[in-house]
Amino acid sequence: MRTGIGYDVHRLTRDRKLILGGVEIPCEMGLYGHSDADVLIHAVMDALLGAAALKDVGYHFPDTDPVYKDVSSIKLLGKVREMLEEHMYLIENIDAVIVAQKPKLRPYIDQMTRNIAEALKVEDKQVNVKATTEEGLGFTGHLEGISAHAVCSIVPALDYMQDDRVSSSCAGCGGCPRLDAK
């Protein structure tokens, strides 16, 4: 099993939509960034890429590339899933937390969870999203920005495949009556 951590932060600004976990949340301020600035998805992507030792979000989707201007981070998360598949990794679980003083995020958490699970082609129960405030402290508490942290576990797909080369019987089962009759 491999574990990865991810962290992202974006400052709040006017004239931007607030997108978290692929959900547009009604708010007078949004997050500043080259893409849609979805800190939750960025933290999840960095956790997954880190677990697979595949560098980070900025390496694969640089903010200097116009292709990624205002791009949906959920679409980029799908590309991260494809990278994991190419390297034969399976996602075990993801646990993430959004740190934001405002707005209250509880009404949107379930949809964020579904969006992440759908983009990664995993079950909802493999993704956990939560939100907290910093009780008015720090840059998030002063409404200067929003941050997110994520942790994930992945496993090589080969760990789930039986290796029938270690046994003389089929599928490594140890034998069956058919073989004993010979």
Binding positions for a divalent metal cation: 8, 10, 42
Which residues have CB under 8 Å from 48's CB, separation 6+?
A: 4, 6, 80, 81, 84, 91, 94, 152, 154
Residue 154 bridge partners (DSSP): 2, 91
CA-CA distance, 150 to 92, in Å (whole number)?
Answer: 13
Do 116 and 77 touch, CB atoms closer than 8 A? yes
Query: Which of these, 56, 108, 112, lies nearest to 80 by C-alpha position?
Result: 56
Annotated binding site: 8-10, 34-35, 42, 56-58, 61-65, 132-135, 139, 142
Q: What share of the chain is helix, strand, coil (3-state, %, to 5)?
A: 40, 25, 35
Query: DSSP character for 103?
Result: S
Residue 12 bridge partners (DSSP): 31
